[in-house]
Amino acid sequence: MLIYALKRLGVALLVFVSISIIGFVLLRASGDPAIALAGEGASQQDVEYVRQHYGFNRPIYIQYVDWAKRALTGDLGDSIYLRQPVSQVIAERAPTTLLLGALSLCFALILAIPMGVLAALYPNSYIDRTALTIAVVGQALPTFFFSLLLIVIFGVWLHWLPIAGNSSWKNFIMPSIALGYYATPAIMRLTRAGMIEVLSSDYIRTARAKGLRRSTVLFKHALRNAVIPVVSLAAVQLGFMLGGSVIIESIFSLNGLGNLAWQTIRRSDFEVMQAVVLTIASFYILLTYLADLLNAFLDPRIRTS
Amino acid sequence: MVSIPPKTTNTDFVPASPMSQKLSRVLNHKSITIGGGILIVMILMAILAPFIAPHDPFSQNLTKRFLDPVWYPKGTWEHPLGTDSFGRDYLSRMIFGARASLLIGFSAMLISGLIGTTLGVLAGYFGGRVDMVITFIITTRLAIPVILVALVVVALAGNSLSIVIWVLGFLIWDRFAVVMRSATQQIRALDYVTAAQAIGCSTLRIIFSEILPNITNALIVIATLEVAHAILLEAALSFLGLGVQPPTPSWGLMVSEGKGMMFFKAWVIAIPGIALFLLVLSINLLGDGIRDVTAPENRN
């Protein structure tokens, strides 16, 4: 188990380093930080001065090594617009996004797992069709359109929920539903497929033949095994949702990483953009790493192969 | 007297050709006919846009701003879906807007399909070190937040149609690679591939004439799903103002332009939003249907 964990950790670190390189190169290939830093209407001379001063004229790998050395000491540079260290900006905004992600995942799991289980218990029934409809609609409905629909219906017509800001817990309800609904179809399908497979297995037949109560068979024997793959899918989906928070946060004016990214993209604030991409990516890497470990812990076949 | 043999209609006994069997299976499949039907209508709409649009989608008339669609009491047939904030005919903008979605969706799918299939087939066929490296590349790609990186690159590199297509194409090849890799692994282990190797076929020949034809069905299914995925991403980028640029009509952009008016006239965002939903739904239904017909064992 330890060897497996260390191996996966090595891969995770390598992925992290690759993404920091890709992010660094991609950003500098797409735009010129000197022009962004010099500001609008800067003369050619000013831009050239900025380029010299910040060393943007050096070869890109030297710039990267330089950046990486500083990043390892926790110094991610300064935001040119917010006039704050980038690490501080990220630390201020991350909790909102993590809370949004966690709530969205809760919403998705609460909706998807019971629906998936019921759909598996009664295939082709009314409940199975409803579950299928929810999944099909969820995959086709653009997140931003769904968010606006929620705002119009629950915020404006019914006046139940606030439509923007993050002053109270109520502000998180609609964004979590909008973001969580996006993850629901995949989790529901996997739960349903897993349950159907498990329910037809021999040990469930044995458990039933022993005369165990139906609920014991379902919850203690079947569901426990069927949700193992769901755990790792949930981790992956949470990672995707943190990335997708940029749309939701900009619509609901939640002050998290997504909204930060959205604001800094419009101002071409290079250091912050890079840090946000890297932060979101590292959350994803961490989540999938933990899911891998949990899976290996639950299923010994994985760690030996 | 010559007796005329009774004319027999023995068409019932002739077994239908595999092709026509397949065709009838496709045509009898509900999600293929519904999904394919809607998709064909949308594609025709996009191609024939200049001929069927009742008005010029760009011509403004500030005296006719936000006219209601025809099903409202004040609506008229002059503008069946009403007009937008510049008094432009909404129906015409919707018809032309289908072009952006479909063009970007299909082009991005072609690019990502080429990248993903190449990587997937190489990893699945060669295994070993090659597989290790490609699996690592896929893992890395999955950790990159798509929307965020697309926004950053489009914002910095300038938002032309072709940049949006290339950025999306280079970002969403992961599913192609994952599925093609495992499909190739399965085919590679089969006897006819071993036989081809034994008689000395070149690797390239084996890949093109033994492997690729046998993973086409899976490829088509992923391709449809990725068109839908790219269309949703384009709509999101346009909604955030970094995809298709005004005054070019795009459904995502139209939702964004109507946002300010949605509290008073919900139809302004509902019409392009529902159109996007229907388009993506139809492509997904078609993909699910094709999978049902070609590989019924993978249904759940």
Give A169-197 pLDDT, tens digit per residue. 778 888 999 999 988 999 998 999 888 88
- Cβ atoms of residues A249 and A259 within 8 Å: yes
Q: Got the DSSP string for A29-47?
A: HHS-HHHHHH-TT--HHHH
Q: From the candidates A148, A192, A199, A252, which should be mutated to test the interface with B, based on the most B CB atoms within 10 A?
A: A148
Minimal Cα–Cα distance from B45 to chain A, Å? 20
Structure tokens at B115: 């990248």
Residue B69's pLDDT is what? 82
Q: Is the pLDDT of residue B81 over 60?
A: yes
Q: How far, in Å, CA of A215 to CA of B273, rounded?
A: 43
Higher pLDDT, A77 or B252: B252
Residue A281's alpha-carbon distances to A212, A260, A268, A290, B170, in angstroms, are 46, 15, 20, 14, 17
- Say which of A31, A151, A246 has its CB closest to residue B147: A246
CB contact under 8 A, A19 and B140: yes
Domain definitions of chain B by residue range: 30-46+89-297
Q: Average pLDDT for residues A86-112, to the nearest whole number?
A: 90
Q: How far, in Å, CA of B288 to CA of B283, rounded?
A: 9
Q: At what angle do helices A126-140 and A173-199 cross, to 10 degrees?
A: 130
Q: Is B169 exposed, middle or buried (0-12, 13-18, 19+ CB in 10 A)?
A: buried
DSSP B245: P
- Cβ atoms of residues A112 and A191 within 8 Å: yes
Q: From the candidates B34, B132, B137, B156, which should be mutated to test the interface with A, based on the most A CB atoms within 10 A?
A: B156
- Say which of A140, A247, A262 has its CB closest to residue B284: A140
Counted across chains A and B, CB pairs separated by less than 8 A come out at 129
- Cβ atoms of residues A138 and A184 within 8 Å: yes
Residue A242's alpha-carbon distances to A19, A238, B96, in angstroms, are 16, 6, 33
Give B273-292 pLDDT, tens digit per residue. 999 999 999 999 998 888 88
Q: Average pLDDT for residues B22-31, to the nearest whole number?
A: 75
CB contact under 8 A, B277 and A140: yes
SS3 A49: helix
Q: From the candidates B152, B242, B251, which should be mutated to test the interface with A, based on the most A CB atoms within 10 A?
A: B152
Minimal Cα–Cα distance from A211 to chain B, Å? 30
Residue B300's pLDDT is what? 45
B148 to chain A, any CB pair closer than 8 A? The answer is: yes
Indicate the pTM of the whole model: 0.88
User: pLDDT class for A79, splitting at 50, 70, 90?
Assistant: confident
Chain A CB contacts of B38 below 8 Å: none
Q: Average pLDDT for residues A224-252, to the nearest whole number?
A: 87
Specify the fold of B30-46+89-297: MetI-like fold (1.10.3720)
Minimal Cα–Cα distance from A142 to chain B, Å? 6
